[in-house]
């Protein structure tokens, strides 16, 4: 009796693994792609933005913002944009509900990518945040950042410049808009310079890591730097006491 050959199973290509390895994606396969923290499969090489959201269960698609991580770039994907999964460097997709914030633009920009664990940490803080390009400079903006008692306003936007070689390269200083000023009118030392960022003047607080307490790659990041910013804000009043 002639044995029937079993049909060959179609190989499933994990796009994230191929992108990180720098390997070209073969066509005519099944493709596994990540949306947020979950992975999904398709046998189609090209999908519209709304189809990616539908596969991921983000319904209705009109209520979600979709972006694609490709290398170090983060690219916004509109509902009718077509994404070629076989295009080199396609890594994963990120989603965000459109009703994220009050008083801010519903479209929070992601113009460059931060390490994934830092993205998750920033999301966990619960404040709206953006990564923007201003000329050749990369900036992290954290909106509605709470200020301790004693300042003229309750919250501000924090800007942190991200160096090109981050996270090896260290972060430095912090910038505020509107300016973090004391309600009692006492001037804040080393905070009288204003830096144009995203079309607005941000107050620069000149605060630095030291030789005794240097930047430690792999241990320090934007999340630890934000904690340091909170310490600088609180220390302002302790020094004057």
Which CATH number is 16's domain given?
A: 3.10.20
- Residue at 1 is within a domain: no
pLDDT in tens, 127-174: 899 999 999 999 999 999 999 999 999 999 999 999 999 999 999 999
Share the mean pLDDT of the chain.
87
Say whether both 70 and 184 belong to one domain.
Answer: no
- Residue at 192 is within a domain: yes
CB atoms within 10 A of CB 224: 15
pLDDT in tens, 62-121: 888 888 887 767 788 899 999 999 998 888 888 877 654 444 445 789 999 999 889 988
| Among candidate residues 54, 80, 99, the one where a domain is terminated | 99
User: What does the alpha-carbon distance between residue 226 and residue 222 come to, in Å, rounded to a whole number?
Assistant: 6
- Cβ atoms of 13 and 30 within 8 Å: the answer is yes
Based on the structure, what is the number of domains in the chain?
2
Say whether both 215 and 112 belong to one domain.
Answer: yes
For residue 146, the enclosing domain spans 106-241
Collapsing DSSP to helix, strand or coil, 17 comes out as helix
- Residue at 223 is within a domain: yes
- Residue at 2 is within a domain: no
Say whether both 166 and 57 belong to one domain.
Answer: no
Say whether both 86 and 146 belong to one domain.
Answer: no
Say whether both 70 and 36 belong to one domain.
Answer: yes
Say whether both 198 and 166 belong to one domain.
Answer: yes
Residue 28 has pLDDT above 80, yes or no: no
CA-based nearest residue to 69, from 93, 104, 35: 93
- Residue at 55 is within a domain: yes
Name the one residue in this structure whose structure tokens are 């003229």: 152
> Which of 21-25, 55-59, 74-78, 188-192 shows the highest mean pLDDT?
188-192
Say whether both 55 and 72 belong to one domain.
Answer: yes
User: What does the alpha-carbon distance between residue 140 and residue 142 come to, in Å, rounded to a whole number?
Assistant: 7
- Residue at 88 is within a domain: yes
- Cβ atoms of 202 and 224 within 8 Å: the answer is no
| Among candidate residues 57, 84, 99, the one where a domain is terminated | 99
User: What does the alpha-carbon distance between residue 37 and residue 34 come to, in Å, rounded to a whole number?
Assistant: 7
User: What does the alpha-carbon distance between residue 217 and residue 103 come to, in Å, rounded to a whole number?
Assistant: 35
Say whether both 89 and 206 belong to one domain.
Answer: no
Say whether both 140 and 75 belong to one domain.
Answer: no
- Cβ atoms of 198 and 139 within 8 Å: the answer is yes
78-84: long-range pairs with CB below 8 Å, 24+: 78/49, 79/48, 79/49, 79/50, 79/53, 80/48, 80/49, 80/50, 81/48, 81/49, 82/46, 82/47, 82/48, 83/46, 83/47, 83/48, 83/49, 83/52, 84/45, 84/46
Say whether both 189 and 117 belong to one domain.
Answer: yes
Say whether both 64 and 118 belong to one domain.
Answer: no
CB atoms within 10 A of CB 217: 13
| Among candidate residues 99, 119, 144, the one where a domain is terminated | 99
């Amino acid at each position: 009796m002639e044995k029937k050959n079993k049909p060959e199973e179609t190989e499933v290509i994990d796009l994230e693994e191929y992108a990180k390895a720098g390997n070209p994606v073969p066509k005519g396969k099944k493709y596994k792609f990540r949306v947020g923290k979950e992975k999904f499969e398709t046998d189609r090489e090209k999908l519209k933005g709304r189809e990616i959201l539908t596969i991921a269960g983000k319904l209705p698609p009109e209520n979600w913002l979709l972006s694609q991580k490709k290398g170090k770039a983060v690219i916004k994907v509109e509902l009718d944009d077509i994404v070629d999964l076989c295009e080199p460097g396609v890594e994963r997709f990120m989603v965000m509900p459109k009703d994220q914030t009050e008083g801010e633009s519903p479209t929070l920009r992601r113009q460059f990518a931060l390490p994934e664990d830092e993205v998750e940490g920033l999301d966990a803080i619960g404040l709206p945040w953006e990564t923007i390009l201003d000329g050749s400079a990369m900036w992290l903006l954290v909106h509605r950042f709470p200020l301790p008692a004693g300042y003229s306003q309750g919250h501000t936007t924090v800007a942190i410049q991200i160096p090109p070689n981050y996270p090896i390269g260290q972060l430095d200083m912090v910038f505020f808009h509107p300016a973090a000023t004391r309600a009692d009118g006492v001037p804040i030392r080393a905070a009288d310079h204003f830096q144009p960022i995203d079309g607005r003047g941000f107050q620069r607080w000149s605060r630095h890591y030291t030789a005794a307490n240097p930047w430690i790659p792999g241990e320090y990041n934007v999340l630890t730097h934000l904690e340091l910013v909170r310490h600088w804000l609180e220390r302002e009043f302790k020094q004057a006491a």
